[in-house]
Amino acid sequence: MTQAEIRALEHASRSTAVWSNEVYDSSPHFGEVVRALLPAALILATATALLVALL
């Protein structure tokens, strides 16, 4: 593989990892984050309650 091919592959991978302005609308999505974390918080609370009950 030549140096030019390596450079082309590196630049191709970098360009796909960049945020597009059309996708990122810069508005906060706190409600979506809370809804995503709620099941995990409930699982952790249940596990903690069960461990405390065992003591």
**Block means of pLDDT (10 residues each) for the chain, length 55 residues?**
80 59 65 90 97 94
Q: What are residue 29's phi and psi, to 5 degrees?
A: -120, 55
User: Whole-angstrom Cα distance, residue 50 to residue 55?
Assistant: 9
pLDDT of residue 14: 58
User: Whole-angstrom Cα distance, residue 34 to residue 29?
Assistant: 9
pLDDT of residue 41: 96
User: Whole-angstrom Cα distance, residue 26 to residue 29?
Assistant: 9
Give every CB contact of residue 32 below 8 A, 6+ residues apart in sequence. Answer: none
pLDDT of residue 31: 85
